[in-house]
């Protein structure tokens, strides 16, 4: 089985197995790091970590154009469905949802979750991380979160890859993300949620140094628009 991961900048990723395609937090429009436009991005499954606009991003447009299934925490999925997406699956922490080619298990994330519409803010649900099993690999997308000790339980999932925010300010910064990597024990660690906006400017090479000097994990720094084989 082959698996290709593409980074669109911020926390937006695409997983391609050859047969199936999954997007995670497809924030393309308004993402200063993105090298593609939302109308070039297609998938049959979209997984969301939480409702913030920099994660929901272009979900509604991409889902409607592709008749895609959107997987999110219950209240966020309900709101997505109310916006005209036909296949929105709501679940919650501890639950596993199957989709075309794989599954995702909802795990906790310490953060908030609201969506700002032109009319104001709505607050659909709570944030989550996702343990995605797809293309023969197990990949943890932490979403936006601080460091938390229950990552020990997520490590028990047997992670090939951990995708961790390092931007600080809204999430873990480099030091805590390196501690998270030490707990998670993934073969590969990929940083995200940095250098998109001024408050989250970070040096990913410093993160690599911190992780690789203290764990057995290898850090892969992905440039926006670039793909890597997992």
Q: Which residues bind Ni ion (CB under 5 A)?
A: 52, 144
Between 12 and 230, name the residue whose CB sits nearer to Ni ion: 12
Is 76 in contact with 113 (CB distance < 8 Å)?
yes
Position of minimal CB gap to Ni ion: 52
118 vs 84: CA distance, rounded Å: 17
State how far the alpha carbon of 29 is from the alpha carbons of 94, 131, 136, 193, in Å: 31, 26, 31, 16
Instruction: Compute φ and ψ for 135, nearest 5 degrees.
Output: 60, 30
Between 3 and 192, name the residue whose CB sits nearer to Mn ion: 192
Strands 96-99 and 102-108: antiparallel
Instruction: Compute φ and ψ for 29, nearest 5 degrees.
Output: -65, 125
78-110: buried (b, 16+ CB within 10 Å) or exposed (e) per residue? ebbbeeebebbbbbeeeeebebebbebbbbbbb
C-beta of 170: minimal distance to Ni ion in Å? 6
Q: Which partner, Mn ion, Ni ion, none, binds residue 168 by CB below 5 to 8 Å per kind?
A: none
Between 16 and 54, name the residue whose CB sits nearer to Mn ion: 54
C-beta of 131: minimal distance to Ni ion in Å? 19
The tokens for 169 are 């300010």
C-beta of 164: minimal distance to Mn ion in Å? 13
Is 57 in contact with 23 (CB distance < 8 Å)?
no
Between 196 and 215, name the residue whose CB sits nearer to Ni ion: 196
Q: Which partner, Mn ion, Ni ion, none, binds residue 130 by CB below 5 to 8 Å per kind?
A: none
Between 144 and 168, name the residue whose CB sits nearer to Ni ion: 144
Is 189 in contact with 219 (CB distance < 8 Å)?
yes
C-beta of 53: minimal distance to Ni ion in Å? 9
C-beta of 212: minimal distance to Mn ion in Å? 25
Q: Which residues bind Mn ion (CB under 5 A)?
A: 54, 144
Between 45 and 196, name the residue whose CB sits nearer to Ni ion: 196
C-beta of 197: minimal distance to Mn ion in Å? 9
The tokens for 87 are 């296949």
Is 191 in contact with 175 (CB distance < 8 Å)?
no
């Amino acid at each position: 089985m082959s698996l290709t991961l593409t980074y669109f900048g911020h926390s937006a990723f695409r997983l391609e197995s050859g047969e199936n395609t999954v997007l995670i937090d497809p924030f393309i429009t308004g993402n200063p790091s993105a090298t593609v436009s939302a109308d070039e991005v297609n998938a049959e499954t979209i997984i969301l970590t939480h409702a913030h606009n920099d994660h929901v991003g272009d979900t509604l447009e991409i889902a409607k154009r592709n008749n895609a299934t959107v997987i999110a925490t219950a209240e966020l999925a309900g709101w997505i469905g109310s916006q005209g997406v036909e296949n929105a699956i709501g679940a919650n922490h501890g639950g596993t949802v199957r989709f075309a080619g794989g599954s995702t298990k909802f795990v906790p994330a310490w953060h908030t979750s609201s969506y700002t519409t032109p009319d104001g803010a709505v607050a659909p649900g709570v944030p989550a991380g996702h343990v995605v099993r797809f293309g023969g690999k197990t990949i943890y997308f932490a979403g936006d979160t601080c460091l938390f000790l229950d990552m020990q339980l997520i490590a028990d999932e047997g992670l090939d890859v951990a995708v961790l925010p390092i931007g600080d300010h809204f999430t873990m910064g480099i030091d805590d993300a390196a501690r998270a990597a030490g707990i998670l024990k993934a073969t590969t660690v990929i940083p995200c949620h940095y250098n998109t906006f001024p408050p989250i400017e970070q040096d990913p090479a410093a993160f690599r140094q911190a992780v690789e000097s203290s764990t057995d994990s290898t850090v892969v720094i992905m440039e926006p628009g670039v793909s890597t084989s997992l």
